[in-house]
Amino acid sequence: MRIVLIGPPGAGKGTQCRRLVEYLDVVHLSTGQMLRELRGQNSALARWVASHMVTGELAPDHLVMRIVRQAVFGGGTSRGYLFDGFPRTLIQAQLLDEQLAALGQRVDLVFELRVPTNELVARLVNRAERENRVDDTAEAILARLSVYETQTLPLLDYYLGRVCVVVVNGLGSPDEVFGEIRGAIDLARGGGAQW
Ligand code: AMP
């Protein structure tokens, strides 16, 4: 089973992904986490990645695809994947589909975690203070939200008609949000989805 979770920064993707991974026993693949690990290394590539992340820009598609390819298509797993924060551009979505198709696989379900912008800004400012996140300056927060709207939201149009897309209200408590996600998964399974 391959699930994509799309949502703006601050929507609670991390929390929901942790629960989903436990519920479904799939591999959690967070490109944000992988890029943070890469950024921590002492290399020119690491510094280049850091310069993208600090401004709220996306990392280049070819770099992200290389990292994903190594993780997913290098080792491989029969357990399936939860893609968290990936794909984030149309090109990434198309390349992922191509690569999965070559293995006779596909994205099975896409979740969009939807939260109004004013609530996102409040959550991100709060989190930056609480967790002392150096990436989350006010400028970077606004830049990331605008990047999400212009580059990532169009993915939903790409997936609509191809894959089952489920819009989840991200405003509830983590339990309520997870209840919605789990409900959709159980429904898809009950409907005979072949995962
Ligand atoms: P995240 O933890 O998913 O919010 O990602 C943190 C940062 O990593 C983003 O603001 C981007 O700069 C970068 N990033 C993560 N995933 C991707 C992706 N799929 N494509 C491009 N950049 C990404």
- For 40-87, what is each residue's pLDDT tens digit? 898 888 888 888 887 878 999 999 999 998 887 766 566 789 999 999
| 31 CA: nearest ligand 1 atom | 16
What are 155-164's pLDDT values in tens digits?
999 999 899 9
Cα–ligand 1 centroid distance for 191 (angstroms): 33
- How many percent of the chain have pLDDT more than 90? 61
Most ligand 1 atoms within 8 A of CB, residue of 53, 67, 69 to mutate: 53
Closest by CA to 11, choosing from 186, 182, 129, 177, is: 177
**Which residue has the CA at smallest separation from atom 5 of ligand 1?**
32
> What local confidence, expressed as pLDDT, does residue 72 receive?
76
Cα gap 24→82, rounded to integer Å: 9
The residue-averaged pLDDT of 108-133 equals 91
Cα–ligand 1 centroid distance for 58 (angstroms): 6
| 89 CA: nearest ligand 1 atom | 20
> What local confidence, expressed as pLDDT, does residue 97 receive?
95
Indicate whether 111 pLDDT > 70. yes
> What local confidence, expressed as pLDDT, does residue 139 receive?
84
The CA-based diameter of the chain, rounded to the nearest angstrom, is 49
- State the pTM of this model: 0.90
**Which residue has the CA at smallest separation from atom 10 of ligand 1?**
56
pLDDT band at 192 (very low <50, low <70, confident <90, very high): low
Cα–ligand 1 centroid distance for 75 (angstroms): 22
| 53 CA: nearest ligand 1 atom | 12
**Which residue has the CA at smallest separation from atom 1 of ligand 1?**
32
> What local confidence, expressed as pLDDT, does residue 14 receive?
92
> What local confidence, expressed as pLDDT, does residue 193 receive?
58
> What local confidence, expressed as pLDDT, does residue 79 receive?
79
Indicate whether 133 pLDDT > 90. no
